[in-house]
Amino acid sequence: MVRAIFVLFFLIASVKAHQHKATIGQRTTDCQHIAVECGQTVTSAVAPDGKIWRVWSQQQQLFYQVSSNDGQHFAPAIKVDIAPEEISSRGENRVKIAFDRQGGIYLSWASPREKRFTADIRFSYSLDNGQSFAVATTINDDGLLAGHSFNEMQVSDSGKVSLIWLDSRDKVLAADKSAVNGSSIYFAEGWPRKNDLAFNNQRLVSGTCQCCRLAFDTNQQGEAALLWRHIYQQNTREFALLTLDGKKEPVKVSDDRWQINGCPHQGGALSIDRNNRYHMTWYNQGEKGKGIFYAYSDDQGSHLSQPLAFGNNGKNAAHPHMLSWKNRVDIVWLEANDSGYSLWHSSSNDYGKTFTSAKQLHQVKGSADRPFVIAGSKSPLVSWHSANQQHWIHAL
């Protein structure tokens, strides 16, 4: 009975989360003034010069702020000077920001279309440290009214842009749509600094969960790697890993046996350290494994360490995120309480072999956004947003 209620909860959450104008608590994006607390989600990243950038959407525009003192204070909000449009802004599907080492700033997002569950992957960039931005372009090249969303982005030091996203074009084009289960992951690359904006689309894999965020990183050979929730057999949803080296096939990395006919809106995290160790964390509610798990691999997923469990399942521990930073690995997640959510943290100083006891970092009343660990100039930082606390950045 408990399992049935749990699954029903996530099916209902999936429907609500698909609505493009979701809210955090009681706040909506119809604020008349421009402020980070008016954003549904906030995405943070640290530029090569150590400054923290945060970006959000409001009134069909993108805005950003920059902090020079580790997030204690931010300069006034600046509008990204591109034409207004609809911008997806919810837990698993949000604006992305990345940098090169020559003053380049790159933004990608999903823009909802006129039909429910349809969108385009959009992209803009600045080559002058944010003083001006290029006209936004559409990355998916199919021209279809289809689902293109849950985008992730990597940018090299020299400005090569790699994008992945969930894409429903294969189902739209299929003669027998009932034979297509889930979405596909598509990949595209461009190099704005070299006037290469082709972004030719390539399908990487089919049969993925439709609405769990993707995880994307680059290994020490410069090869992109991704982690996602895949649909195996009849709606058994496990996590899979793929390195884009032209040789490897996807590898199943979780074996929790979660059988669910719906999307739980619980993506994983992937972070590759300086020794090329792949660190992964995920969430499942399977018959074999329930809760948050972490494991690492030294051979790109062929073999994994014994998964470690994190969080209190009695308090619905969920939404993990993780980052490897030098010899450290930091994992954060949320747990529910009577009035809202608490943010928890555990860390390793030996590349993921052992971890500290879980520690509560913060708590808020009401609902909250997902937490994310980002690489600071001096230490990892956690970025967390909610309607009541606004945006919170804390050194780990």
pLDDT at 146: 97
Query: What CATH code is carried by the domain that includes residue 332?
Result: 2.120.10.10
Walk along the chain (396 residues) and give the pLDDT tens digit of each residue: 444 444 444 443 443 443 333 334 444 445 889 999 999 999 999 999 999 999 999 999 999 999 999 999 999 999 999 999 999 998 899 999 999 999 999 999 999 999 999 999 999 999 999 999 999 999 999 999 999 999 999 999 999 999 999 999 999 999 999 889 999 999 999 999 999 999 999 999 999 999 999 999 999 999 999 999 999 998 999 999 999 998 889 999 999 999 999 889 999 999 999 999 999 999 999 999 999 999 999 999 999 999 999 999 999 999 999 999 999 999 999 999 999 999 999 999 999 999 999 999 999 999 899 999 999 999 999 999 997 778 999 999
Q: Domain residues for 32?
A: 2-395
- In the chain, the largest separation of any two C-alpha atoms, in whole Å, equals 58
How crowded is residue 55: how many other Cβ atoms within 10 Å of its Cβ?
A: 25
pLDDT at 247: 83
- φ, ψ of residue 245 to 5 degrees: the values are -105, 5
CA-CA distance, 24 to 300, in Å (whole number)?
Answer: 37
Residues facing 258 on adjacent strands? none
- CA nearest neighbour of 231 among 269, 264, 201: 264
Number of domains observed in the structure of the chain? 1
Which residues, other chains included, contact 341 with Cβ-Cβ below 8 Å and sequence gap of 6+?
Answer: 334, 335, 363, 364, 367, 368, 386
Whole-model pTM: value is: 0.92
pLDDT at 278: 98
Place of tokens 């299929």: 174
Each residue's pLDDT tens digit, 97-147: 999 999 999 999 999 999 999 999 999 999 999 999 999 999 999 999 999
CA-CA distance, 187 to 164, in Å (whole number)?
Answer: 5
pLDDT at 176: 93
Which residues, other chains included, contact 336 with Cβ-Cβ below 8 Å and sequence gap of 6+?
Answer: 315, 316, 342
Parallel, antiparallel, or unpaired for β 372-375 and 359-365?
A: unpaired
pLDDT at 30: 54
Q: List b or e across 327-359, with b for residues whose CB sees 16 or more CB atoms inside 10 angstroms.
A: ebbbbbbbbeeeebbbbbbbbbeebbeebeebe
If you write DSSP's letter for every residue of 140-186 in order, what string do you get? --S--SS-EEEEEEEE-TT--EEEEEEE-HHHHH-SSGGG--SEEEE
